[in-house]
Every structure is written in C-alpha cells, then in structure tokens.
Copies of this chain bind each other. A is one copy, B any other.
Amino acid sequence: MAEPARGPGRPRDNSISERALTATRELLVERGFEATTIQAVAEHSGVHASAIYRRWSSRIELIEEATFPGLNPVSVRPAGDLRRDMSRFVRAYLGAFSAPAARAATAGLIAHHQTSGRSRPPELYLRVSARPQFREILSAAPPGTVDPAVDPDDVFDMLLGAVLSRTLLADAAAPQRPVGRTVDMILRLLRPLEGDGAGAGGRQ
C-alpha cells in the first residue's frame, strides 16, 4: 500500500517480488514447506537469490509474505444477526487459510515460531485480529441469543479445530467439510440452555 517512499537510487523492480512470491506459492503447493528453499525459489522464478535476500531476510519471511500478506485475515462488521454475522466471519476466517499455499505453509511456520526468536508470537497467524473480532460479533448479538455463561475464548478454540483440521490435517485432495456445518456447531455452543441451565454445561 502506497509506494515505498521513492527516494534516490534505482527503484526495486516490482515484477521481481511478484515472481518470487508466485514461485514460492507454487513450490509450497507442489513440493511442500521443507523443499521451498530460497535457492529453489530463485531457480524456479528466474530471480537471482541475492535479489531475494535483499527483500526478505530469511526463507521464513518470504514464505510468510507469500502466504499471509498483511496478516489481517478477517475484517467483518457485525450486523447484529448472529447466524449471518458468524457465517460471514467463519467463511472469511477459513478463507484465509484455505489457499493451497497457506495450507502448505501453516504448520511449518508454526513450528518455526514455536522456537526461534519469538519475533512474532506463534499464534499470530491464527488469532491475530480474529479473536477480538469474534468477541465483537458475540457482543452484537441480540440479547438472549448467547449464553452469558459461555467463555468466548473457549468457543473460539473450538473454531480453531475446524480451521486447523482442514488446514493441516485433511488430505488436500479430499472434499472440504462445508462451512455451514461449522457455523451450526458454533451456534450450538453459544445457545443458552433452556430451563434451569442444569443440563449439559454449567459446572466448573
């Protein structure tokens, strides 16, 4: 967004960045995270490796930008209709991780960030901007729609299951579970208990 300052010196050739990012995504899909080395990207894209190092300080940063550019996967204004809002949110949230390259990269990125430097918190990719958004949607829901006894964070963790099970674990070739089913599950979790609330949940 916005040209990068444009000072003196030869400007960067944008097509080089694009070629590198595209090649990165292709390699992620075709050969996987481990094989997506800077050398391989250079060879596959025709860009010289040093031009890649000039832009990204490591292969991790390259892969991050190729798969999660900007890092703001979800941005939905709640309208007050719980099912409708949730449906849009889940669709957008899942969408950020459903691109083939993102699917191929997520586990590797998490593995990397669990350890080194902790430059970015490991859960960045999955929670950032999404968890607050999720809470916002719940706040906007009509009174009586959401059980106040339920912790939104607990529900959000459940939603993560749907995301990660599709992203990391499901066979890439298999058909994805439809999004609507996941929304139903979330709504089930939020629904207030009838009667006295002594049914399933309540303790602990």
Contacts and interface: CB of A to CB of B under 8 A. Distances in A.
A157 interface: yes
A32 B191 CA distance: 41
Contacts of A196: none
A123 interface: yes
A79 B34 CA distance: 44
A12 interface: no
A185 B116 contact: no
Interface stretch (A14-22, A65-73, A160-168): A160-168
Given A34-B115, A169-B110, A190 B182 contact: no
Interface stretch (A37-45, A132-140, A173-181): A173-181
A160 B165 contact: yes
Interface residues of A, number: 60
A83 B191 CA distance: 19
Ranked 8 nearest A-B pairs via Cβ = A161-B161, A32-B115, A180-B204, A123-B169, A107-B111, A187-B200, A160-B161, A184-B201
Given A121-B171, A160-B164, 14 more contacts: A107-B111, A107-B114, A110-B169, A127-B169, A154-B177, A154-B184, A157-B161, A157-B177, A157-B182, A161-B161, A164-B168, A178-B204, A181-B204, A191-B200
28 contacts: A33-B111, A33-B115, A34-B112, A110-B111, A114-B168, A122-B169, A122-B171, A123-B168, A123-B170, A127-B169, A155-B185, A157-B161, A158-B162, A160-B169, A161-B161, A161-B163, A161-B164, A164-B164, A164-B168, A178-B204, A183-B204, A184-B200, A184-B204, A185-B189, A188-B200, A190-B200, A191-B193, A191-B199
Interface of A: 31-35, 83, 103-104, 107-108, 110-112, 114-116, 121-123, 126-127, 150-151, 153-155, 157-165, 168-171, 177-178, 180-185, 187-191, 193-194, 199-204
